[in-house]
Amino acid sequence: MTEQLAVAVLGAGGRMGSEAVTAIESAPDLELVAALKRGDSLDELVSAGAQVVVDLTTPENTEANVRFAVEHGMHAVVGTTGWDEAKRASLAQLLEQHPGTGVLIAPNFALGSVLASSFAATAAKYFESVEIIELHHPDKVDAPSGTAIRTAQLVAAARDAADVPAGPDATTKALDGARGADVDGVRVHSVRLRGLVAHQEVLLGGPGEQLTIRHDSFDRASFMPGVLLGVRAVTGRPGLTYGLDGYLELS
């Protein structure tokens, strides 16, 4: 039998972390060597011999966790939000000092969500208007969601590359927040509602028509195939990859 890959989960007591622990324990090619909760020492990653660290913690803690992993020669698969451009650039620099080490930052592990964002970027240059509505459970601490930010970035880049002008908007009077957040020129609206898990609609409008690209995660099980894919692939992908689409052949 080939050797199992030693995997640690950070945030193991959380909604995503606990699901990831179960998924890793159920995978015959992976061995869960550590499951850390808030307050546990990161040194446990070293003593457990972790090869891949899965970070599912909080936007405040994730950067320090991932930098620790990289500095100790471990690969990382990161689902936690909060990785803005400056943090990603600084991590990419650190990775240059650790050739051979890989980090995947995946704003969304659900394959359907990754595809939906990619479809939205493909469609974006053909429509005058694009806006995003993301809908999540009310225990989520960040808004807009990491997925919506990533989708808006992909949409904006596709529209920029095709010289599509900004969508029309005659608003001159508005209550604060009424038009959502501006992410690279794309309006993003956040809904928080008990009963929801993670959902997103990209609305694309043209004269007399609308295309809606919607994805729904009804259960956190939807994220686990992507987590496992990331864990298995990251050891062969040195440097920083932003988005699970970087590991998939989407075109």
Ligand X SMILES: O=C(O)C1=N[C@H](C(=O)O)C[C@H](O)C1
Which positions are annotated as active-site residues?
136, 140
CB 178 within 8 A of CB 163: no
Answer yes or no whether residue 17 interacts with ligand NDP by CB under 6 A.
Answer: yes
The Cα angle at residue 190 between residues 208 and 87, in degrees rounded to 5: 115
| C-alpha span between 227 and 170 (Å, rounded) | 42
Between 180 and 230, whose beta carbon lies closer to ligand NDP? 230
Reference 112, options 245, 246, 247, 251; nearest CA is 245
Length of the chain: 251
Tell the burial category of 137 from Cβ atoms under 10 Å away from its Cβ (0-12, 13-18, 19+): middle
Q: 108 labelled as ligand-binding? A: yes
Which tokens sit at 39?
A: 């307050």
| C-alpha span between 73 and 50 (Å, rounded) | 9
Answer yes or no whether residue 18 interacts with ligand X by CB under 6 A.
Answer: no
Q: In the window 131-150, what residues touch ligand X (CB under 6 A)?
A: 136, 140, 145-147
Q: Is 59 left (phi over 0), alpha (psi -120 to 50) or beta?
A: alpha
Q: 16 labelled as ligand-binding? A: yes
Task: Please identify which residue in 223, 240, 245, 247 interacts with ligand NDP, judged by CB under 6 A.
Answer: 223
Q: In the window 101-160, what residues touch ligand NDP (CB under 6 A)?
A: 106-109, 146
Q: In the window 156-195, what residues touch ligand NDP (CB under 6 A)?
A: none
The Cα angle at residue 21 between residues 17 and 25, in degrees rounded to 5: 170
Q: 14 labelled as ligand-binding? A: yes
Answer yes or no whether residue 81 interacts with ligand X by CB under 6 A.
Answer: yes
Residues annotated within a binding site for (S)-2,3,4,5-tetrahydrodipicolinate: 137, 146-147
Applying CB under 6 A, which residues contact ligand X?
Answer: 81, 107-108, 136, 140, 145-147, 198
Residues annotated within a binding site for NAD(+): 11-16, 79-81, 106-109
Applying CB under 6 A, which residues contact ligand NDP?
Answer: 10-11, 13-17, 36-38, 56-59, 61, 65, 79-81, 106-109, 146, 223
